[in-house]
Amino acid sequence: MQIFIDLANWLRAWILGMGISTTATELILTAVWTLVVILFVLINLIVLVWIERKSSAFMQQRRGPNRLGPAGFLQFPVDIVKVLGKEDITPAAADKFIYKIASTCAFVTAIVAIAVIPFGPGMVLENLNIGIFYFIAIGSTATLSLLMAGIASNNKYSFIGGMRTVAQMISYEIPMVFSLLGVVMLAGSLNLTDIVASQKNMWFIVPQCIAFIIYFISTVAETNRGPFDLAEGEQELVAGYFVEYGGIRWAIFMIAEYGNLVAVCAIATIMFLGGWNAPFGLTFLPPFLWFMLKVYCMIFLFMWVKWTYPRIRIDHLMHFGWKFLIPVSLANIVVTGIGIYVYRMITG
Amino acid sequence: MDKIVDREALVGELNQKFGNCAEIFEDNTNQSIKVMPEKLVDVMTELRDNPKYDFKVLVNLNSVDYPENFTVVYHLNSLTYLHKATVKVVLDKANPQVPSITSVWKAANVQEREAYDLMGIVFTGHPNLKRILLADDWVGHPLRKDYNLQA
Amino acid sequence: MLKTQELTLNLGPHHPSTHGVFRCVLNLDGEYITKAVNHTGYLHRGLEKLAESRTYTQFIPYNGRLDYCSGMLNELTYVTAVEKLMGITEEIPERAEYIRVIMSEVQRLANHAIYFASMALDTAGATAWFYGFRDREKCLDLIEMASGQRMMPNYMRIGGVSDDLDENWFKLLKELVDYMPSAVDEYEGILTGNEIFQARTVGVGPVSKEMALDYGITGPNARASGIDTDLRRDEPYSVYDRFKFNVPVRKNGDSFDRVMIRIDEMRESIKIIEQAMKDVPEGPIMAKVPKVLKPPVGEVYHRIENAKGHLGFHLVSDGSTKPYRNHIYSPCFVNLGIFPEMAEGLHLMDAVVALASVDIVLGEVDR
């Protein structure tokens, strides 16, 4: 049931057995697990892109990729090889340094956010006691990399796209944080492992269902996915902030987008869906698999929404964010606070 | 079949109103009247606004390069009476100029630009008489019969 | 006050939402358009000049290249114009007339399906896009089966149609007619009933009745603005006077009405096909026309209700085998003329929707 923990312990014993000091062992182990997490994100990407392509194809009454590998499963790795072979073009009028680091920045923020996510009991790179705070902080820096890409490209379309991104992500950051606050109040901790542990009996989606809906809507906007993919704005802005990017730089943006998607879905699972806790006592699956199953369900929900709805207009988006989501999420906090107070009064 | 406006009455009324400006133009369609270029805008406004004729729609604007003249052809249609008329303006071969009717129908805007572009007819008073289909630095007007196709 | 500056944005000629090689120069204040200027002509092929060096029959295939979403209708316009010029309109066999009506309505269904699809795509509803294209292919399959070509059918002939249709074709047509109403219901379910789509289109780019008349807007766009006009009813050509159908008219003239009018029209087209396929008479499909066509000296202006508006041909004959002048009145070209005024004050995202709702095809705009 705990293969990853066992593996880590075995590795630790093996390195210690070679006569290396304890500090060095821990350093090596951290490096190894960081690498494993990055690899996990990348390999997960193959699955995600395959699911996205197949599910959208199913919704659109077509077949989707079906040539490479079983049911087109290897389409994405082959695509990556293809974009690696493309010429790396930098527009002549671009701010070259910022243009080049922007895609990397986006990738880094997406990967770094995964560091605090516990995939199972004890399966976390860094068990920060302010885990959720760290996640929010890292998440908001993602805005910066998209703005960098938008402005550095020196293209009007990407400029407008970058501006839209900032407006949208800053506006939706607020209801997202507020919606998470209710859970934090219930759990009484910012540590993600503790939050999961406190959902042993009841998932927080039950008392915090409004917060869950708000969180879902605002993370759709946060991750720039349809129907809130205004930053890309395929129809009017062609591709928004990455219109000038091509080849592997574009692919890195895409990887970052999916990385963000995994991160926000993992957080949703941890905060609302009970993390790795098995529902109804169905413990025959290891906790890690339960966790991933829930994450994938969340991701499918994201894809379902994306492939069903047309895109919303930016001013409607802003109105919805500021005039509806923020008041509702604030009210949710108040109600949660009162609820906790009353509960404590009753139970003493 | 097509309903055609009573040409005699129409021409008579126009001549009475604007001085000798219109006459019946004989062709196979039996619906054409010929209008002097100077009075074109007045005539068109009258045709549009007179409730008796009520030509609210400019159906088509075309130009033809005949051997002896340029002719600008306006096809008009009424939505209430469903009748039709064709107004023709015959222009000088050397200096084809006709007043623009953009002020009467905005639909004429693009069609006049097209006629200017391809046939070289100058519509005086047009707000933006530039080439619309061909490149701005194109030489000549392709739909004229003397246009050199070998280029 | 901060110093602000308008942004000039070149929308096109290579842009996903201009439906071809159309360029529009927009002045943006923030994301709101202060001024729009159309630039057309990137697809100009000089069809009118080409026609002058082709015989009347040789020009038929060029019609598919005009509005490449409704080839049959363009061809029908052209051949009926030539027939009118030659004075043989009455001699067309009944069967050919019925086949023409069926073909043009199938083509109209295909055109409106692609309109719906591109409208969906311009509001980023990629799934609805596939729904539209799915049904368009079904219509095009029938056209391909009859003519051998999907989009450039070259099927109509001066005096009739080129090939007869067999029982099997009519059986498939029946299947299409039985299927289409459910597909149109699906359109309303997936896109036009969607709240986001309505928020994106209702009140966007409204065209009043007066404005539509002034700009010479024709076809579905005019009917969306409240102008009750349909050449199939007002000036019936072919055998349209034998069928019962409604002419849907809407009031507001905004983008949503322009979409809904097409949806309504699809239902009417289905009705016409149903009536027409019931009593297609047996008989010849071509009138006896001379091998070399020499229309008498004169001219004709003939227009029909194309899927996008009133497509018209002004043919001038000098008695020879080739037209002296062949002018194409293009509804897309004239309808596009309203775009600068429509776009003024709109959000950039709405301008794309407004442009899509006008339904332009650059092959016909630029000719």
CA distance linking residue B128 with residue B136, whole number of Å: 13
Kindly tell me if the per-residue pLDDT of A283 is higher than 80. no
B15 CA: distance to closest CA in chain C (Å): 26
Q: What is the pLDDT of residues B56-86, one digit of tens each?
A: 888 888 888 888 888 888 888 888 878 888 8
CA distance linking residue B60 with residue C74, whole number of Å: 16
CB contact under 8 A, C121 and A307: no
ipTM, interface predicted TM-score of the complex: 0.86
Task: Report which of residues A296 and B18 the model is more confident about.
Answer: A296
CB contact under 8 A, C200 and A310: yes
In order, the DSSP letters of chain B are --EE--HHHHHHHHHHHHSS-EEE--STTS-EEEE-GGGHHHHHHHHHH-TTT---EEEEEEEEE-SS-EEEEEEEE-TTT-EEEEEEEEE-SSS-EEE--TTT-TTHHHHHHHHHHHH--EEET-TT---SSS-TT--S-TTSTT--TT-
Using CB atoms, pick whichever of A308, A311, A314 lies closest to residue C127: A308
**Which region holds residue C361: left if phi is over 0, alpha if psi is between -120 and 50, else beta?**
beta
- A63 in contact with chain C, both atoms CB, cutoff 8 A: no
Q: How many CB atoms lie within 10 A of CB B1?
A: 7
Do A241 and A342 sit in the same domain of this protein? yes
Q: Which of A74-78, A98-102, B17-21, C208-212 has the lowest mean pLDDT?
A: B17-21
> A85, A104, A125 — which closes off a domain?
A85
Strands (E), C139-263: 156-157, 160-161
Do A73 and A121 sit in the same domain of this protein? no
Q: Which of A279-283, A293-297, C88-92, C148-152 has the lowest mean pLDDT?
A: A279-283
- A162 in contact with chain C, both atoms CB, cutoff 8 A: no
% of chain A residues with pLDDT over 70: 98
**What tokens does C242 get?**
């034998």
Mean pLDDT of chain A: 83
Interface mutation target, options C349, C350, C355, chain A, most CBs of A under 10 Å: C349
Confidence of residue C7 (pLDDT cuts 50, 70, 90): confident
* DSSP label at residue A114: G
CA distance linking residue C324 with residue A4, whole number of Å: 84
The predicted model gives A49-65 an average pLDDT of 87
Question: CA nearest C78: which of C103, C99, C61?
Answer: C61
Do A60 and A138 sit in the same domain of this protein? no
List of domains in chain B: 3-94 (3.30.460.80)
Interface mutation target, options C15, C27, C127, C255, chain A, most CBs of A under 10 Å: C127
> Closest residue of C to B62, CA-based?
C327
**What tokens does A151 get?**
């402005």
CB contact under 8 A, C41 and B135: yes
CB contact under 8 A, C125 and A310: yes
Do A72 and A92 sit in the same domain of this protein? no
Amino acid making up residue C221 = N
The C-alpha torsion from B100 through B105 and B109 to B114, rounded to 10°, is: -80
- A128 in contact with chain C, both atoms CB, cutoff 8 A: no
pLDDT for the residue numbered A2: 67
> A43, A66, A85 — which closes off a domain?
A85
Interface mutation target, options C8, C18, C31, C137, chain A, most CBs of A under 10 Å: C31
Do A67 and A130 sit in the same domain of this protein? no
What SS3 state is found at A61?
coil
Query: How many CA atoms are closer than 13 Å to the CA of C75, on its beta-carbon side?
Result: 31
The predicted model gives C67-73 an average pLDDT of 86
Q: What is the pLDDT of residues A264-275, one digit of tens each?
A: 888 888 888 887
Do A161 and A268 sit in the same domain of this protein? yes
Kindly tell me if the per-residue pLDDT of A1 is higher than 60. no
CB contact under 8 A, C301 and B105: no
Please give the interface size between B and C, counted as residue pairs whose CB atoms are below 8 Å apart.
96
Mean pLDDT of chain B: 83
- C7 in contact with chain A, both atoms CB, cutoff 8 A: yes
CA distance linking residue C122 with residue C348, whole number of Å: 12
Q: Which of A95-99, A280-284, C244-248, C331-335 has the lowest mean pLDDT?
A: A280-284
Q: What is the pLDDT of residues A8-52, one digit of tens each?
A: 778 778 877 777 777 887 788 788 888 887 888 788 888 888 888
> Do residues C159 and C288 touch, judged by C-beta distance below 8 A?
yes
**What total of structural domains would you count in chain A?**
2
% of chain A residues with pLDDT over 90: 1
Touching A (3+ Cβ pairs <8 A), the chains are C
CA A71 to each of CA A41, A58, B18: distance values in angstroms, whole numbers, following the listed order: 22, 13, 78
**Into which CATH architecture does domain C7-365 fall?**
Orthogonal Bundle (1.10)
Domain containing A74 equals 1-85
Q: Which of A89-93, C54-58, C134-138, C207-211 has the lowest mean pLDDT?
A: A89-93
Question: CA nearest C115: which of C102, C142, C133?
Answer: C133
> A85, A104, A119 — which closes off a domain?
A85
The residue extents of the domains of chain C are: 7-365
pLDDT for the residue numbered B2: 66
The predicted model gives C10-31 an average pLDDT of 83
- Bridge partners of C11? C24
Do A81 and A95 sit in the same domain of this protein? no
Q: What is the pLDDT of residues A307-345, one digit of tens each?
A: 888 888 888 888 888 899 889 989 988 998 898 889 888
- A311 in contact with chain C, both atoms CB, cutoff 8 A: yes
- B122 in contact with chain C, both atoms CB, cutoff 8 A: no
pLDDT for the residue numbered B151: 53
Touching C (3+ Cβ pairs <8 A), the chains are A, B
CA distance linking residue B138 with residue C72, whole number of Å: 33
The predicted model gives A101-124 an average pLDDT of 82
pLDDT for the residue numbered C15: 83
- Residue A146: alpha-carbon gap to chain centroid: 15
CA distance linking residue C73 with residue C119, whole number of Å: 21
- Bridge partners of C315? C300, C326
- Chain B hits for C296, Cβ within 8 Å: 28
Do A17 and A136 sit in the same domain of this protein? no
